[in-house]
Structure 1
Amino acid sequence: MFRLRRYRYYVFFAAIVVFLLYRVAQNSEQWEAVSASFPHAAPPPKLKPPPTSKTGADSQVDTSLKGISSKDDDLPQRILDNSGKDSSPGKDSLKAEIPDLKNTQQAEDEDDAADFEPPPKSDIAIKEAGVLAYDHDEAAKATTAPVINVPDKNVGKGAMDAENNPVKTAIHWKKVPEHFPVPESEIIPLPTEKPKKIPTIQFAFGKESAENRELREARQQQVKAEMERGWAGYWKYARGHDELSPVSKKYRDPFCGWAATLVDSLDTLWIMGMEEEFKEALLEVEKIDFTIGKRPEIPVFETTIRYLGGLIAAYDVSGGKSGGYDILLEKALELAEILMGVFDTPNRMPVLYYNWKPSFASQPRRAPTNAGVAELGSLAMEFTRLAQITKENKYYDAVARITDAFYEWQESGTSIPGIFPEQVDASGCNRTAQNELEAAQSAADIEAYDETDSNNSLDAGAAGEDNELDFESDVKAKSQPDRLDKAESSVLKRSRKSSALNLNVVKKKNPKTGKVELIAGERILPECVSQGLTSGGWGAEQYSMGGSQDSTYEYFPKQWLLLGGLEPKYKELHLKVSEAVKKWLLFRPMVPDNRDILFSAKITTSGEPETDAKWQYEVTHLTCFVGGMFAMGGKIFEVPADVEIGKKLTEGCVWAYESTPTGIMPEGAHVLPCPDAKNCHWNQTLYEQTLDPAFESRDEQVEEYRERKAKAKAAVEKARMEKQNAQDLRSSTGKTGRPNKSTPDEKPLEDSPVDHNNARVGKRAPVGLEDDTMESRPVKNKKAPALDDDLEDSDPVPGFKKSTISQVPLQDDEDTDEDDPLRPLSHKEWVANKIESEKLPKGFVNVNWRSYILRPEAIESVWYMYRITGDKKWQDEGWKMFEAIVRHTTTEVGSSAIDNVLSTNPKQSDEMESFWTAETLKYFYLLYSEPNLISLDQWVLNTEAHPFKRPKSSFGV
């Protein structure tokens, strides 16, 4: 008993500890519930990878990606074994779920500590910014994208450094609250009706002869061989990186390092029957981490058409949901959720170069004021198809608003009605009115600033790792209030350094010092006077079907097909575009064989094209897509004339291929338009005059040169005769009756225009030129006249009497112009010299961009024309193009761009763009395939040649 009393205190405290532990255990579920409510949960414990032997260079990289081995031949069974199986049966199996990603909790570095997290955006701040404030209560109910946590994954080969090591960074993209969300009630839904009956696009091909089939299949196998070689080179030397450098056998990462060639080529692998390579590539696809990249910004247009389009098309061609390759849709959704942030602007027009890091992505922003038409309008097909597959209307809403903006702009009118200028102001703000508001606000800010204490301080907050929000450097010293009346408000000026953001600066009294201070709050947008899309930049506008504009026009009829003809806006947009192109841009070039072909020009105007339009009659490879666009549009909208126009446009690009020494079309050139497109014949004189704009004055300059030369020659002859006469006079008055020999000290006659010692020099000098510098130029050394005094003093031949008349020297041979480097060229000579020095193919006025970078646009239109007309001549034309390209671009491990198509031995530039395997080789392969492979009546291809399945039932399923 005594011993129990001795230890009673220890027993008491032990009981308390046990009780507390019990209470904690009982409440653990509540703690877990609270933890789960946070938007970014801690990552799950990593799976322990199987042990690997590490011996020098063969050591394996430790991977925590769901236990997947890093060995190439160890493919996930859920990818390889699910082909042809429906992995998610049930009534909701048709609806794909957005992957539940988890936040990466890595060691924080100094950059992370500097990340600026703004307070929630208030309605007051939005209204002060002069933009429409959505109903946030309603928006809270909207089906906007849920907060996505970043997965704790191994950084795959899509994000490796130059030494092939994982990129060490703690900065990942993460979902941030939207500043301008779309309420659920305002989301634009996909059309829900059954697709309309659309006219047949493809030709009704008959039975193929054995001979034709043998030829076609032989050509197809050669195309596939090029794909196999290029893919093997990429896989060995550039796997996981964007592009192969096929000459140096290295790699490049011009995009975000997300394996562009691999993702871009997935559907090509499937279409060509390279199924094993396709399955191997899926392992690399799963390693790609879209939440981190090698570039500080995401190029939205290129990322959408290559990556998002590539993933969706690979999912479609491999069987969709029934194909079992769900990783493709999962990755497409992961990327799409990141890209959706670009639409969070006041007018929902996209930011086209998206700084994905949280410190910037969390800030309000506007669309650019100088967007390219193609960048802005070429997102529609990819997000629409994703919406059809997932039944998520938010993806369609994002791009439907862009279409609506283009439709309204076309309705209100542009300088050339029907088409749009190359540069677009998509900000939604009237800059002129906005500048007036900012000037007024600046004056008000300065006045308010003067009222504050001169010792006030401004806490601008820490800048993010991007240095995009470095406001502190703009804060003016408070000890210099006298300078404020000569400068803009520092608050307003910050908009130039923070992507059009302003600090929401408020006055607060410091409780410690009692002084009023200016405190930096959340970032707000400057005031805005709303407007729709309008011309961007300043000065003249440019209109064409070429680069920076092309694919937006291409998407109008294709988007109509993808939506089953249920959205009439796309048909109206296309028909007005085609009419404008026919009226303003199409022209027939004058070519040596009088071929009836067409090209599309570029127009520059200051707003009055009827009077100030200037045409550039260009021939660009990028514009060659327009032949296929016209032909397909003519079929689906039943305009037969447009099919014929498409044929002539495609033949124009074929002619451009045939005209060069390499048999490959240059990237850019100019030609001469026919004066009359209906009656055009080759005119050599007109062509030469176009090559030489100064042809009228050039022959006159030659005549003037010859006159000056004749006068100079006469002056020299006159001086020589005067000298000779003077010598005769001295000889006749001499004592001996013989001419006096001049001594070294004897000076020439003062009235002689040419002295004795300079006579030969003057004869060789350039004729008709006055300054001394011209005399130093080399001329042909002609034989000089015989003026030797020894010959003059010699005795006469016996039997002859010495003449008292001085001997006339022998004359020069008749002078010729050809050897005179100072003679101006005649018009004929100038033209011949231009053609020779620039190696101009006949019919070309100039070739200003001589390279070929493996582009697909010409063969794209050739393929469309074959599938639409059934004419086998297009297969023959395509084969000549293919052979020429392979001849000059082939390397040991792939194909390379070349620098000069006008040279018989062009230099390879060590670049293999991802569209070589994604587009160019795919179009060549389909040109020699069975017509039912990617039939135009079942599929529609995006601008990167990625096939999307056309819907047969409502909602695109």
Structure 2
Amino acid sequence: MIVTRVWFRTLGSASILFLVGILWYLRHTRYTTVQVHKSSFDWSQVKYLHHAQPEVGAVSGATRILPKIQHRFERSSNISKKQRQRRDVILSTFKKCWRNYRTYAWKQDELLPISAGGKNSFGGWAATLIDSLDTLWIMGLKEEFFEAVGVVASLDWNSTPETSCSVFETTIRHLGGLLSAYDLSGHDALLQKAVELGDMLITSFNTPSGLPASWLDFEKAKTGQLEAGFHEPSTSAGSLALEFTRLSQVTRDPKYYNMVTKVAVLMQQSQNQTKLPGMWPANWNLATGNFVSDNSFTIGAFADSTYEYLPKMFALTGGADTMYAQMYRTAAEAITNSLLYRPTTPNEDDVLFAGSVWVESDGSQRLNPEGQHLSCFIGGMYGVGGKLIGDESHVELGLKLTKGCIWAYNAFASGIMPENFNLVACPSIHGPCPWDEEKWRQKLYADFDGHDDLPKGFTNARVPTYLLRPEAIESVFIMYRITGREELLDAAWTMFQAIDKATSTPYGNAAIEDVGTVGSRQRDSMESFWLAETLKYLYLIFSPPDGMSLDEWVFNTEAHPFRRPRGSY
């Protein structure tokens, strides 16, 4: 030891730095240099029997300077001691979950957080591992990141016990996770595996209609026998654009972007021809391309990310695809006029929610004043969209929608909002909305669902579960970055504390059965989005705001950040 210290004293500073570099290289080279094993089937060789791939041209760079999204923080590189402490707690929570995933469910899709096992629910392609790659990088867990890359490099997309996969879920989790991790690290193995997977998923468009099948039947896809469905969730086709556009950008191969642009063009052509002009129905006929026949409209389940991706695609294409900005503006107007409502609350809070609408045969609209945890993304959507199109009224709506979800969290005994619930709508989203307890009680009895201890204002909690979802925290993150409002930091911390208290297990965090009960029964389930989205957004909320700036990155619906074209901000 003495000899070592004397030896170092005899070296110059440059030599010491060189030696430190060598030691670092030796320590990490086994992770950074990995051999990529190609999948056993080459999906790029599949013949397109029905339609030639359209020649649209890939978007590879910015065409205009877009308006700034993120607030100008005074000291953006620094955070307070309290923020740092909070971030460290969230990091510790992530580390516990990752450590137990590594121990009990390594290379499987999900950790079972109660029984300390694993399960495969997404093809057995290590969904939690791939979904968490960018979170590992962002949190500075580089050794864990490079170990996970080694697993990715050996994945065979043709090796799965399943006969098909969900195109939407595999795109947002696996393809999005690989592309984001590549954007952050530049590790070539991730791009190679993303290209293999993209070539597989893009065959979902090899159908008679040229629109994607929601489920990729592997054997049918290899022989061109896939068919698109007659009644599919709008997200199945409307939520692929970000991932495939980014794949075209980084590979300079237009085929991925060209395919999803076909869907966007049809969306634009049909947007004002539906039964609620400006919006698309929750379900589409992808076999014919008819998006206009259904009567149900929502921004919740089956439709959410279709709308979320409109302003985000405008940002990712550097303003080149103006149709996305136009579609966002038109959709936001319809959503504001028909779906947004202010609920009656005991304290007469000025908050908003997004419900759903049924259009009757005579054209009249029937609002269902529901709330969905999935719909809580909409606050962030309005915030980002409003900034990009230069309309501050959208930002104000986004803040009220975000505050609505915060209010719903605080209302329940567990401090968490339920999956689905109903409220009583005020006559208008503008102006006063006095609390009428008698009216609320009448509606409560009419909607009675077995819960006799609902918070005032709620008429039911039809689905009282919490599945570790991120959408409310996502909007808190985005609206904090847009407005700089300090109270959103405290709101996020209160939400995290409630979630962790109700869901924590010795091995991870588990979904719960009833948010209306303190100490609710837990489910042996921890979906990959807990690590990919919920904890990532919480970590970023309490991190220096110049990290992952909204002016430089755009997040897909699974919270995977893609780098925006330089020169667009």
TM-score by length of 2: 0.91
Q: Which residue of 1 aligns with 2:49?
A: 179
Instruction: Quickly say closer, same or farther: Cα 1:389–1:78, change in 2 above 3 A.
Output: farther
Give the distance between the partners of 1:245 and 1:78, measured in 2 at CA.
Answer: 30
Does residue 419 of the first structure (1) align with residue 279 of the second (2)?
A: yes
Range with bigger deviation, 363-372 or 413-422: 363-372
Corresponding residue to 1:292 among 159, 162, 167: 159
Q: Which residue of 2 aligns with 1:690?
A: 443
Corresponding residue to 1:626 among 378, 400, 408: 378
| 1:390-539 correspondence to structure 2 within 5 Å | 390-411=251-272, 413-428=273-288, 532-535=289-292
Q: What amino acid sits opposite 1:599 in the alignment? A: F
Q: 1:382 Cα shift?
A: 0.4
Does residue 657 of the first structure (1) align with residue 409 of the second (2)?
A: yes
Instruction: Quickly say closer, same or farther: Cα 1:188–1:648, change in 2 above 3 A.
Output: same
Q: 1:365 Cα shift?
A: 3.6
Corresponding residue to 2:390 among 633, 638, 644: 638
Q: 1:835 Cα shift?
A: 9.9
Instruction: Quickly say closer, same or farther: Cα 1:683–1:544, change in 2 above 3 A.
Output: same
Q: What amino acid sits opposite 2:209 in the alignment? A: N
Give the distance between the partners of 1:267 and 1:209, measured in 2 at CA.
Answer: 20
Give the distance between the partners of 1:620 and 1:178, measured in 2 at CA.
Answer: 39
Q: Given that residues 854 and 920 in structure 1 are in contact (C-alpha distance below 8 angstroms), is that contact kept between their aligned partners in structure 2?
A: yes
Give the distance between the partners of 1:395 and 1:209, measured in 2 at CA.
Answer: 37
Give the distance between the partners of 1:101 and 1:257, measured in 2 at CA.
Answer: 17
Q: 1:605 Cα shift?
A: 2.0
Q: 1:180 Cα shift?
A: 2.2
Q: 1:368 Cα shift?
A: 1.1
Does residue 304 of the first structure (1) align with residue 171 of the second (2)?
A: yes
Give the distance between the partners of 2:428 and 2:56, measured in 1 at CA.
Answer: 48
Corresponding residue to 1:647 among 353, 375, 399: 399
Q: 1:360 Cα shift?
A: 6.0
Q: What amino acid sits opposite 1:80 in the alignment? A: T
Measured against aligned partners, the alpha-carbon deviations of 1:801-851 in whole angstroms (never above 9, x if no partner) come to: xxxxxxxxxxxxxxxxxxxxxxxxxxxxxxxxx799532111100000010
Q: Which residue of 2 aligns with 1:372?
A: 233
Q: 1:676 Cα shift?
A: 4.3
Q: Given that residues 60 and 252 in structure 2 are in contact (C-alpha distance below 8 angstroms), is that contact kept between their aligned partners in structure 1?
A: no
After superposition, the CA RMSD in angstroms is: 2.4
Q: Which residue of 2 aligns with 1:252?
A: 119
Corresponding residue to 1:594 among 348, 372, 377: 348
Instruction: Quickly say closer, same or farther: Cα 1:193–1:896, change in 2 above 3 A.
Output: closer
Instruction: Quickly say closer, same or farther: Cα 1:934–1:360, change in 2 above 3 A.
Output: closer
Measured against aligned partners, the alpha-carbon deviations of 1:864-893 in whole angstroms (never above 9, x if no partner) come to: 111000011000000000000010101111
Give the distance between the partners of 1:851 and 1:191, measured in 2 at CA.
Answer: 41
Does residue 681 of the first structure (1) align with residue 434 of the second (2)?
A: yes
Q: Which residue of 2 aligns with 1:195?
A: 63
Q: 1:604 Cα shift?
A: 1.3
Q: Given that residues 76 and 283 in structure 1 are in contact (C-alpha distance below 8 angstroms), is that contact kept between their aligned partners in structure 2?
A: no
Q: Which residue of 2 aligns with 1:862?
A: 476
Give the distance between the partners of 1:174 and 1:681, measured in 2 at CA.
Answer: 61
Q: What amino acid sits opposite 2:271 in the alignment? A: Q
Q: Given that residues 856 and 916 in structure 1 are in contact (C-alpha distance below 8 angstroms), is that contact kept between their aligned partners in structure 2?
A: yes
Measured against aligned partners, the alpha-carbon deviations of 1:510-532 in whole angstroms (never above 9, x if no partner) come to: xxxxxxxxxxxxxxxxxxxxxx4
Give the distance between the partners of 1:192 and 1:901, measured in 2 at CA.
Answer: 45
Corresponding residue to 1:898 among 502, 506, 512: 512
Q: Which residue of 2 aligns with 1:15?
A: none
Q: Given that residues 110 and 526 in structure 2 are in contact (C-alpha distance below 8 angstroms), is that contact kept between their aligned partners in structure 1?
A: yes
Give the distance between the partners of 2:274 and 2:450, measured in 1 at CA.
Answer: 43
Q: 1:363 Cα shift?
A: 4.0
Q: What secondary structure is seen at the aligned counterpart in 2 of 1:534?
A: coil
Instruction: Return 5+ residue gaps in structure 2 as ranges.
Output: 1-25
Paired-residue identity, %: 39
Q: 1:689 Cα shift?
A: 1.7
Q: 1:905 Cα shift?
A: 1.7
Q: 1:258 Cα shift?
A: 0.3
Q: Given that residues 415 and 607 in structure 1 are in contact (C-alpha distance below 8 angstroms), is that contact kept between their aligned partners in structure 2?
A: no
Corresponding residue to 2:134 among 244, 251, 267: 267
Q: What secondary structure is seen at the aligned counterpart in 1 of 2:80?
A: helix
Measured against aligned partners, the alpha-carbon deviations of 1:555-600 in whole angstroms (never above 9, x if no partner) come to: 0100000000011100110000000001100100000111000001
Q: Which residue of 2 aligns with 1:603?
A: 357
Q: Which residue of 2 aligns with 1:561?
A: 315
Give the distance between the partners of 1:661 and 1:299, measured in 2 at CA.
Answer: 36
Instruction: Quickly say closer, same or farther: Cα 1:192–1:835, change in 2 above 3 A.
Output: closer
Give the distance between the partners of 1:414 and 1:607, measured in 2 at CA.
Answer: 13
Give the distance between the partners of 1:249 and 1:944, measured in 2 at CA.
Answer: 25
Q: Given that residues 594 and 681 in structure 1 are in contact (C-alpha distance below 8 angstroms), is that contact kept between their aligned partners in structure 2?
A: yes
Q: What amino acid sits opposite 2:286 in the alignment? A: A
Q: Which residue of 1 aligns with 2:32?
A: 80
Q: 1:644 Cα shift?
A: 0.4
Measured against aligned partners, the alpha-carbon deviations of 1:693-714 in whole angstroms (never above 9, x if no partner) come to: 49xxxxxxxxxxxxxxxxxxxx
Q: Which residue of 1 aligns with 2:222?
A: 361
Q: Which residue of 2 aligns with 1:570?
A: 324
Instruction: Quickly say closer, same or farther: Cα 1:182–1:100, change in 2 above 3 A.
Output: farther
TM-score by length of 1: 0.55
Q: 1:380 Cα shift?
A: 0.4
Q: 1:687 Cα shift?
A: 1.1
Does residue 666 of the first structure (1) align with residue 528 of the second (2)?
A: no
Does residue 545 of the first structure (1) align with residue 299 of the second (2)?
A: yes
Q: What amino acid sits opposite 2:555 in the alignment? A: L
Q: What secondary structure is seen at the aligned counterpart in 2 of 1:298?
A: strand
Q: What amino acid sits opposite 2:182 in the alignment? A: Y
Give the distance between the partners of 1:627 and 1:349, measured in 2 at CA.
Answer: 30
Q: Given that residues 240 and 262 in structure 1 are in contact (C-alpha distance below 8 angstroms), is that contact kept between their aligned partners in structure 2?
A: yes
Does residue 839 of the first structure (1) align with residue 453 of the second (2)?
A: yes
Instruction: Return 5+ residue gaps in structure 1 as ranges.
Output: 1-73, 88-98, 105-148, 151-172, 429-531, 695-833
Q: What amino acid sits opposite 1:420 in the alignment? A: W
Give the distance between the partners of 1:193 and 1:352, measured in 2 at CA.
Answer: 30
Q: Which residue of 2 aligns with 1:917?
A: 531
| 1:39-58 correspondence to structure 2 within 5 Å | none
Measured against aligned partners, the alpha-carbon deviations of 1:429-459 in whole angstroms (never above 9, x if no partner) come to: xxxxxxxxxxxxxxxxxxxxxxxxxxxxxxx
Give the distance between the partners of 1:572 and 1:278, measured in 2 at CA.
Answer: 39
Give the distance between the partners of 2:327 and 2:424, measured in 1 at CA.
Answer: 31
4+ runs of 1 displaced by more than 4 Å? 74-79, 99-102, 834-837
Does residue 345 of the first structure (1) align with residue 207 of the second (2)?
A: yes
Q: Which has the higher contact order (CA 8 A, sep 6+)?
A: 2
Q: What secondary structure is seen at the aligned counterpart in 2 of 1:692?
A: helix
Measured against aligned partners, the alpha-carbon deviations of 1:305-344 in whole angstroms (never above 9, x if no partner) come to: 00000000000011x2xxxx21100110111111121111
Q: 1:685 Cα shift?
A: 1.3
Does residue 931 of the first structure (1) align with residue 545 of the second (2)?
A: yes
Give the distance between the partners of 2:306 and 2:270, measured in 1 at CA.
Answer: 14
More helix per residue: 2
Measured against aligned partners, the alpha-carbon deviations of 1:102-148 in whole angstroms (never above 9, x if no partner) come to: 7x5xxxxxxxxxxxxxxxxxxxxxxxxxxxxxxxxxxxxxxxxxxxx
Q: What amino acid sits opposite 2:291 in the alignment? A: T
Give the distance between the partners of 2:361 and 2:552, measured in 1 at CA.
Answer: 42
Q: What secondary structure is seen at the aligned counterpart in 2 of 1:576?
A: helix
Give the distance between the partners of 2:450 and 2:306, measured in 1 at CA.
Answer: 39
Instruction: Quickly say closer, same or farther: Cα 1:693–1:884, change in 2 above 3 A.
Output: closer
Q: 1:287 Cα shift?
A: 2.3
Give the distance between the partners of 1:644 and 1:328, measured in 2 at CA.
Answer: 39
Instruction: Quickly say closer, same or farther: Cα 1:615–1:207, change in 2 above 3 A.
Output: same
Count matched residues. Answer: 543
Q: Given that residues 421 and 460 in structure 2 are in contact (C-alpha distance below 8 angstroms), is that contact kept between their aligned partners in structure 1?
A: yes
